[in-house]
A = this chain, B = another copy of it.
C-alpha cells in the first residue's frame, strides 16, 4: 500500500526518485529532449527574440470542474507566452509534493499536463521533484516555466503602445474559473454548474497576430488573478490615457452573476484562466472580433470599451443603469489559492 503514495524517500534524489521520474514523469512526458535525462535540457532556438516566463500553481482543490492543477499549470504558462506574442516552445515543470499524495492522483495530473501541452504544441523538456513532510505543503504545488519565440520579432506589447480611440476586446465571459473553483471547494451551499475556462490561448493569439499589421495589436493579456479589472488597471497605469468600459458589453454568464449576487463577489475581479483581453487599433477591431468569434475559445468575444483621450490613467466603468464609476485594482483579499 505504501507503494501507492508519495513518501519522503521519493524525494531523496536516489533510487525512489529515479523510479518516480521513470514511471510517472518520463513515461508521460516522453520526448527526445527529456529522454536524455540530464540535469538540463538541450533546446534549439532560432536567434533573436525569445520570451521567458514562470508561474507557480497552488490551486485548491487539485481537481475542479473543467480542469485540474496540471492543465492549469501548462495553460497558465502557455498563455503568458501567447499574450507576449510568442509561439510557446518549451516548458519546464517542477513539483513540490506533500508526503502522502496518492501516486494515481499525480499520474492523472501529469497525464493532464501532457495532454494540454500536446494540444498547445509545446514540449515539457525539464523538471524537478521535491517531497516535503506531511503538513509541510498542501498536497501538490506545480511551477512551470516557458520559453517561446516571438511571431513579430521586434514588437513589444506594452501599455505605452495604446492610442486614444483604440478598442478593448475581450474574448468571452468573465469569472468562470473562480466560480468553478469556488463550487469545487464546497464552502458555499450552492448548486453551481460552471466549468472553469482553463485553456491554452496560443492558437487564438497566433491567428490574431497573423491577421493584422504588426503594430495594430497594442497589448494583450490573460486576466487571471485579480480579474479583468486588475488587468485593465495595469494597462491604464502603464499607458497615457483612461480606459472606458461598458458594463453592458462585458460577457458574463447568468450563473456567475447569480453567485456573485449571493456571495458579494464582483465578477470584474474574479480570476479567468482562458480569456484574452487586448487593445487594438480601432480600424482592425472588426477583423479581430470576427476571428475571435470563429474560434472555439472566443465565441462570445466583444468590444467592451475604448481608450479615451483623457490623460486620467484610470479605468472608468459605464454601468448598465447609466452611471459611471472608477474601477480600481483589487485591494483586499479575494479568493486565495485560485490558481
Contacts and interface: CB of A to CB of B under 8 A. Distances in A.
Given A55-B94, A143-B54, A38 B133 contact: no
Interface in A1-51: 7-9, 11-18, 36-51
Most chain B CB atoms below 10 A, which of A52, A137, A150, A238? A52
Contacts of A334: 12-14
Contact of A49 (B44, B53, B125, B337): B44
A182 B94 CA distance: 25
A12 B92 contact: no
Nearest to A231: B13
Identical chains in the assembly: 2
Most chain B CB atoms below 10 A, which of A13, A53, A84, A133? A13
Contact of A56 (B55, B96, B331): B96
Given A54-B94, A54-B145, A143-B94, A330 B15 contact: yes
A109 interface: no
Dominant SS among interface residues on chain A? mixed
A54 B221 contact: no
A202 to B, nearest CB: 12
B17 A54 contact: no
Contacts of A12: 225-226, 330, 332-334, 336
A156 B224 contact: no
Contact of A96 (B17, B58, B135, B157): B58
Given A47-B47, A269-B14, A130 B58 contact: yes
A56 B94 contact: yes
B141 A138 contact: no
A158 B36 contact: yes
Contacts of A125: 52
B47 A42 contact: no
A310 to B, nearest CB: 22
A58 B132 contact: yes
Interface string A98-142: 000000000000000000000000000111111111011110010
Contacts of A192: none
A238 B137 CA distance: 34
B136 A93 contact: no
B15 A329 contact: yes
A246 B51 CA distance: 47
Contacts of A63: none
Given A130-B58, A337-B136, A40 B53 contact: yes
A92 B52 contact: yes
A141 B226 CA distance: 23
A80 interface: yes
A127 B333 contact: no
18 contacts: A8-B333, A8-B336, A9-B332, A11-B225, A13-B230, A14-B225, A36-B156, A36-B158, A38-B157, A39-B221, A40-B83, A40-B84, A42-B150, A43-B50, A54-B145, A55-B128, A132-B337, A133-B337
Given A54-B126, A132-B138, 18 more contacts: A9-B331, A12-B330, A12-B336, A13-B226, A14-B225, A39-B83, A40-B52, A52-B90, A53-B126, A54-B127, A54-B145, A55-B128, A58-B132, A96-B96, A126-B145, A135-B135, A135-B138, A137-B141
